[in-house]
Structure 1
Amino acid sequence: MPFWIQHRLTIALVAPLAAFFLIGSVFENFFPYQISGRESEPGINAMRYLALVAARVAGMGAIIAAFSPIYIQSFPLRAGRELEPAFESSPTHWPDYWGVITGVIGAAIWISVCHLQIETTVLSWVGLAGDALGQRDAANPFLLYREPEMLGGFLFVRFALLVVAVPIAEELFLRGFLMRAVDSQDWQSMPLTKIGSSGLMAGTVYGVAAHPNEAVAAAIWFSLVTVMMVKTGKFWNCVLAHSITNLILGVYVCQTENWHLW
């Protein structure tokens, strides 16, 4: 059996997030841009930065669209169709109010905890610099793109990445693949409500590893969404919560100019 056929579900679940990092690596090595300081000081290549964000949206979007039949088959959006045996107890993964509530609460927690700067404090205790865990780009688009058309274009693709592409890609990888694969060799047929302790812990560990400079907020947020996942058993609730948190965070960043948060 061809590799693609044998591992098509794994490829479908991993590919969107892999594209995010692959595109970032290509730009870093072949089309680098520089961002210095919180206020996007002169020296950044604004067009390359815009191209990076747009390329990620386009690449991830194309992959998600191509594999969408597999996603819908694995996590159905409606009942009344022939489902895999693993999903008989949860005939639909259509999101509900728990996704909204979790997303709003998660945003409040993320923003509040990040402002405490716990990671920076701990690093100072052990004699390390505050940026030892890395920093986000912290680019201020209102200084970077002076023309309204360029600013509008950047904000459009930045929010598309933040609110649509990243939540779908990250949740597909994390809850569709990683948490189930860690817990069972027969993970393809495992309902989200049946994931064991090792898989649940893997979700939090991934969150911390992917957001080291926001480790405490990430640990709380990813654990919160996992609790909601176990309660509802609905994959698309996790995507909805992720999208709402990121939308609130993006609006908050633009309003308060806390650019280091996105």
Structure 2
Amino acid sequence: MNIRKLVKNSSFTRIAPFALFMAFIALEEMLRNPVINKTFHFPESIAIYIYPVKALSTGLLILMLWGNYIELHFHDFRKLSSTLLSLITGIIVFILWIHLDWTWASIGTVRGYNPTLVSDYFTQYLLIVFRMFGASLIVPIMEELFWRSWLLRYLISQDFQSVKIGKFSLSSFLIGAIMFGLEHNLWLAGIMAGVCYNILLYRTRSIAQCILAHAVTNFMLGLYVLQTGRWEFW
């Protein structure tokens, strides 16, 4: 398959931004590895600098593939009842998320993203801006395209574009929510969020509304982290 055909492949265009983002996460984890650090003497803050590159690269890829996302209808926001439901869902997920941080409900060590590890204040603020931008805009678009536009429909039919947005099946609902949860260190909070966003999708039949709810959750979580210093939530 040549590149031109690949970028027009419906599955590829929804998987690629997510895969790129996850590849950067793998790089961050590799740089934090004690053996790697011992060998190359990387500073503790090295992984923090990857986030701006990760956010910008993923955002650029989404823009390059934007014409393929025919399911994104931002005029859906004109339906005020659905938009209000999305805002409420985003707030509820945020509130539940910060209370589901039990040790047994997490995978591995939750390090978080702590820009204060950098001594220069201007750099700290710049890293915070990139984090808020990435978490509140890039991540919601990237994840909702992958999880609720592609995966939930693909689990119903490999010809996923023949499946209407918001079509329910118990297996895709459960598998999608669980897999979404396992993507996060706080797996229980992740499953909860997956369930809430899935239900919102079934109610509104709109990927745009899911992006809005996800963005609200991440933006509020960012404000909470900055106010409390609970960097592990980032």
TM-score range, shorter chain: 0.7 to 0.9
Task: Output the CA distance in 1 between the equivalents of 2:193 and 2:12.
Answer: 26
Shift of 1:215: 2.2
Measured against aligned partners, the alpha-carbon deviations of 1:230-253 in whole angstroms (never above 9, x if no partner) come to 011011111111111011111111
Contact 1:17–1:170 (CA<8 Å) still a contact in 2? Answer: yes
Task: Output the CA distance in 2 between the equivalents of 1:244 and 1:4.
Answer: 35
In structure 2, do the counterparts of structure 1 residues 139 and 118 end up closer, same or farther at CA, with 3 Å as the change threshold?
A: closer
In structure 2, do the counterparts of structure 1 residues 231 and 27 end up closer, same or farther at CA, with 3 Å as the change threshold?
A: closer
Shift of 1:16: 0.8
Q: Which of 147, 154, 160 is equivalent to 1:174?
A: 147
Task: Output the CA distance in 2 between the equivalents of 1:218 and 1:248.
Answer: 16
1:76-225 to 2 correspondence within 5 Å?
A: 76-78=73-75, 96-114=83-101, 117=102, 119=104, 133-142=107-116, 144-211=117-184, 213-225=185-197
Unpaired segments of 5 or more residues in structure 1? Answer: 36-42, 80-91, 121-130
In structure 2, do the counterparts of structure 1 residues 27 and 111 end up closer, same or farther at CA, with 3 Å as the change threshold?
A: closer
Measured against aligned partners, the alpha-carbon deviations of 1:12-69 in whole angstroms (never above 9, x if no partner) come to 101111011222334555xx2479xxxxxxx7443x3343101101210111101111
In structure 2, do the counterparts of structure 1 residues 26 and 218 end up closer, same or farther at CA, with 3 Å as the change threshold?
A: closer
Contact 1:118–1:216 (CA<8 Å) still a contact in 2? Answer: no
Superposed CA RMSD: 2.6
1:44-63 to 2 correspondence within 5 Å?
A: 44-46=43-45, 48-63=46-61
Q: Which has the larger radius of gyration?
A: 1
Contact 2:52–2:130 (CA<8 Å) still a contact in 1? Answer: yes
Task: Output the CA distance in 2 between the equivalents of 1:3 and 1:197.
Answer: 36
Task: Output the CA distance in 2 between the equivalents of 1:4 and 1:189.
Answer: 22
Unpaired segments of 5 or more residues in structure 2? Answer: 35-41
Task: Output the CA distance in 1 between the equivalents of 2:4 and 2:178.
Answer: 29
Measured against aligned partners, the alpha-carbon deviations of 1:153-177 in whole angstroms (never above 9, x if no partner) come to 1101111221111111111110111
Is 1:232 the equivalent of 2:204? yes
Per mean C-alpha deviation after superposition, the further-off stretch among 252-261 and 100-109 is 252-261
Contact 2:48–2:113 (CA<8 Å) still a contact in 1? Answer: no
Indicate the residue corresponding to 2:220 in structure 1: 248
For residue 77 of structure 1, what is the amino acid of its counterpart? Answer: F
Indicate the residue corresponding to 1:89 in structure 2: none
State the SS of the aligned residue for 2:119.
Answer: coil
Task: Output the CA distance in 2 between the equivalents of 1:139 and 1:184.
Answer: 37
For residue 111 of structure 2, what is the amino acid of its counterpart? Answer: D
In structure 2, do the counterparts of structure 1 residues 34 and 140 end up closer, same or farther at CA, with 3 Å as the change threshold?
A: farther
In structure 2, do the counterparts of structure 1 residues 193 and 27 end up closer, same or farther at CA, with 3 Å as the change threshold?
A: closer
Indicate the residue corresponding to 1:8 in structure 2: 9
State the SS of the aligned residue for 1:112.
Answer: coil
Q: TM-score of the superposition, structure 2-length normalised?
A: 0.84
For residue 232 of structure 1, what is the amino acid of its counterpart? Answer: T
Measured against aligned partners, the alpha-carbon deviations of 1:77-115 in whole angstroms (never above 9, x if no partner) come to 348xxxxxxxxxxxx9xx72221111011100111222x
In structure 2, do the counterparts of structure 1 residues 139 and 58 end up closer, same or farther at CA, with 3 Å as the change threshold?
A: closer
Equivalent pairs counted in the alignment come to 223
Q: TM-score of the superposition, structure 1-length normalised?
A: 0.76
